[in-house]
Amino acid sequence: MKNVFFFIFLISISVSSQTHRFIYQYQFKTDSASAKYEKANMVLDINPQDVKFYDYAYAENDSLNKLHDYKNFLWNDTPAIIRKKNSNENLNFEFLNDYFKYSTTDKINWKLSSETKKVGQYNLQKATTDFGGRKWIAWFNQEIPINEGPYKFRGLPGLIFEISDSENQFLFKLIKSYQLKSTYNTIDFLETTMDKKPILINRESLDRIKLDFYKDPYHEIRENFVYKPEEKIQLMGVRITSKDQITEQTKRYQKYIRDNNNIIERDKKLNYFEN
């Protein structure tokens, strides 16, 4: 945490056109039984009208696309959210063979603790909550008058520096902050991606799409497959020369989905074994 640098909030927070950016290191386990953590740097952009949370790699990819006039597509298995300022209404974005968005109301009920700790020059206070089927421990700083944090975690009387679940499967830690001179534009990778607007859907309908996808993820390839030696079709690193191989790789991919089904909001987890 020694590389965290803060601007002077009481002066700059009144500048209406600026984006206040916080970078969180995100460590997470897609497989709850694994000792391995995946890692990503996540952006929390606090704008004049809204708050956005997304993978920093999207912003990097967007910058390269603009610089070189590319249209490279990038989507990671990390959260992407937009919400209005001072709101618990989150617009969630997901990509699964198509681009989707759905709304959720995510009120966080915090329990403040008298326990404190010091990280660098910052005094942090502990808070706990139950959310998404997990118990969470947060550390926030009351001297920074921003009631936001990573993912959907907000509503504390100060900025969240650290938050993790009680099993240490999902961890967010603030590593950097700075301000941008104008509101950062995410139109090319959140509000749209590859010039395509997301399809508005509800969570239940999206879950049904995921379950249908799980049942036959290579449906189109199987239906249209005709072996041509000059074509190189690969599924999960295996070159496909017969429909039997597609069936084999389907089973492998289904196992991969089941094994990597650990999500932040555990109470929303799909049971693929029943399908």
173: domain CATH number?
2.50.20
Pairwise CA distance, residues 104 & 12, whole Å: 31
Read out DSSP for the chain? -TT-----HHHHTT-TT-EEEEEEEEEE-SSTT-SPPEEEEEEEEE-SSEEEEEEHHHHHHHHHHHHHT-------SS--EEEETT--EEEEEEESSSEEEEEEE-----EEEEEEEEETTEEEEEEEEEETTEEEEEEEETTS-----STT---SSSEEEEEEETTSSEEEEEEEEEEESSPPP-IIIII-BTTBPPEE--HHHHHHHHHHHHH-TTHHHHHH----TT---EETTEE--SHHHHHHHHHHHHHHHHHT---SSGGG---GGG-
- CA torsion 185-155-106-60 (nearest 10°) is 30
**Residues 134, 48: one domain?**
yes
**Residues 213, 156: one domain?**
no
Please give the pLDDT value at position 275: 55
Does residue 196 belong to any structural domain of this protein?
no
- 122 to 2, 24, 118: CA distances (angstroms): 10, 16, 6
**Residues 107, 179: one domain?**
yes
Place of tokens 């938050």: 163
Pairwise CA distance, residues 218 & 212, whole Å: 11
**Residues 142, 13: one domain?**
yes
**Strand pairing of 81-84 and 111-119?**
unpaired
Please give the pLDDT value at position 8: 39
Pairwise CA distance, residues 177 & 190, whole Å: 21
**Residues 24, 144: one domain?**
yes
Does residue 46 belong to any structural domain of this protein?
yes
Does residue 2 belong to any structural domain of this protein?
no
**Residues 161, 251: one domain?**
no
Q: What is the pLDDT of residues 1-50, one digit of tens each?
A: 444 444 434 334 444 568 999 999 999 999 999 999 999 999 999 999 99
Find out whether 28 and 35 touch, Cβ atoms under 8 Å. Answer: no
Domain stop point among 191, 217, 233: 191
Find out whether 169 and 135 touch, Cβ atoms under 8 Å. Answer: no
pLDDT bin (cut points 50, 70, 90) of residue 227 is confident
**Residues 117, 218: one domain?**
no
**Residues 206, 176: one domain?**
no
Q: What is the pLDDT of residues 137-195, one digit of tens each?
A: 999 999 999 999 999 999 999 999 999 999 999 999 999 999 999 999 999 999 998 88
Least confident of 36-40, 125-129, 143-147, 222-226: 222-226
**Residues 104, 125: one domain?**
yes
**Residues 209, 127: one domain?**
no
pTM of the model: 0.91
**What is the residue range of 230's domain?**
202-274
What is the average pLDDT across 235-256?
A: 93
**Residues 157, 240: one domain?**
no
CA angle 209, 211, 212 (to 5 degrees): 65
Residue 54 has pLDDT above 60, yes or no: yes
Does residue 226 belong to any structural domain of this protein?
yes
Please give the pLDDT value at position 167: 97
What is the average pLDDT across 121-139?
A: 97
**Residues 26, 103: one domain?**
yes
Residue 272 has pLDDT above 80, yes or no: yes
- Per the structure, how many domains does the chain have? 2
Does residue 197 belong to any structural domain of this protein?
no
